[in-house]
Amino acid sequence: MALVFNINFLLALLWSEWLITRERSKRTFAWLRTLPIDDRALAGSKFVASAGLSGLFWVLSTALFAREFWRPVGTWIVLLTLVLAFGGLAIAAKWRFSWRVGHIGPLVVFAAPLLLFMAIAGDGTDRRDAVMALWNAPWGRSVVSVSVFLFYVAIVIITTRWVARADTVDLVD
């Protein structure tokens, strides 16, 4: 199960590499900005393509190799939103920052809460039981998936606005 999740996580990172870094190196953003296409549509298409590919591979890989993720379905949805948010964060970081920060930034942003969760849950039986009680509550997984989805929407909106305001030089260098 962990292998399936990690492969999808890596694929989300690779989509951002293909969608952003490759176009930055070939400088096709400069050409795209000369076309009568709105910058928001250009930026939004990157996020839609990444989300579509990540979602498709998540559904296929979990259906074929890790059906355990589907029970309960709330866990499957939380993990799907995590993969989508990571892919969106990778696109935003690679577009906005240098290639070094673009590669490591999303991993750091996602690793910090995970390490904090592991420190809280793994510190003692009482804390672990409290965290698991929140997770297993009827609203626990819903709150997490909605929070991660809102984080993803914020990434898309902020990045789309930045692309619309950015100079072409900022998008290709």
Report, as an integer, the average pLDDT of 25-50: 86
pLDDT band (50, 70, 90) for residue 100: confident
173, pLDDT greater than 70: no
Beta carbons of 79 and 145 less than 8 angstroms apart: no
- pLDDT attached to residue 150: 96
Vertex 122 angle, CA 119 and 123, to 5°: 80
DSSP state of 115: H
pLDDT band (50, 70, 90) for residue 124: low
The pair of three-digit structure tokens given for residue 44, joined into one six-digit string: 């939004």
Query: Above pLDDT 90, what percent of the chain?
Result: 26
Residues whose CB is less than 8 angstroms from the CB of residue 75 and which lie 6 or more positions away in sequence, other chains included? 69, 141
- pLDDT attached to residue 141: 81
Give me the number of domains the chain comprises. Answer: 1
Report, as an integer, the average pLDDT of 86-104: 86
Length of the chain: 173
Report, as an integer, the average pLDDT of 106-122: 78
pLDDT band (50, 70, 90) for residue 17: confident
Can you tell me which residue has the tokens 């009827």? Answer: 138
Domain with 154 in it: 2-172
Q: H or E element: which one contains 61?
A: helix 39-65
